[in-house]
Amino acid sequence: MKQFIVMLLVLSTCKLQAQFAESSGAIKASAGYTHDFPGMNGYTVGAEYSFPLIDHLQGGIAIKHANMQGYPRTNQAFEYTRATTLDFNFYYAPLLTETQLFRIGIGYSFSFYQIQRSYPLVVDYSDSKSSTTWPTQKTKGTRPGINLMAEYEFKLPNTNFSVGIRGALYRAYDGTYFIGPVVSYQL
């Protein structure tokens, strides 16, 4: 809880520095393909409010839900990851024009996850035979982590909308890769 309060205060302070900026921020929606560390595939959906801080620096607050599942280790055991995260992001925009935006960012996540994993259990018998089983273990918990992101947006002419693509490495519950489209509305 202490980490959450510190991040909220930092973002609030930075927002005050940008109160006279031309833009008041943007609301974004994203959905895309996600690949989890043990080999599971799925999807992630997210929403973000991003806002200008100072020249070429932006901040963002996001919420994401990830759902991945499969049989990555053996056909005997079903595994999954389901997580909801609250993210605090900082972006640097080296390309910022009237029609295009390219940003790279780093973020800090608070993850609320449920996972089911299986690990091999080998039983050796006295007659030199062995058998392997794959018992599953369910885990629930919370965990903070770091995110690395890159995003490209194209601003549609004569509208407040932009479309783009985002790639990210999320490290809040497992090493997770994400790629997918982004739709943004400039406030």
Token output for 67: 């759902």
139: its two tokens: 């885990």
- Write down the pLDDT at residue 1: 58
Q: Which residues pair with 116 in a beta bridge?
A: 80, 138
Per-residue pLDDT at 4 = 63
Give the residue ranges of the chain where pLDDT is below 50: none
Beta 41-54 vs 26-36: how paired, if at all? antiparallel
Residue 70: the pLDDT is 86
pLDDT tens, 67-81?
998 888 778 888 888
Q: Give the contacts of 162 (CB within 8 A, at least 6 positions apart).
A: 26, 101, 153, 154, 155, 156, 183, 184, 186
Say what the pTM is.
Answer: 0.78
CA dist., res. 148 & res. 32, Å (int): 16
Reported in sequence order, the residue ranges of the chain that DSSP labels E, i.e. its strands, are 26-36, 41-54, 57-70, 79-96, 100-118, 121-124, 130-133, 136-155, 161-171, 176-186
Question: Which domains are assigned to the chain?
Answer: 2-186 (2.40.160.20)
pLDDT of residue 106: 93
Task: Work out the mean pLDDT of the chain and round it to a whole number.
Answer: 85
96-122 b/e with 16+ CB inside 10 Å = b? eeeeebbbebebbbbbbbebebbeeee
What is d(CA 159, CA 48) in angstroms, rounded to the nearest whole number? 19
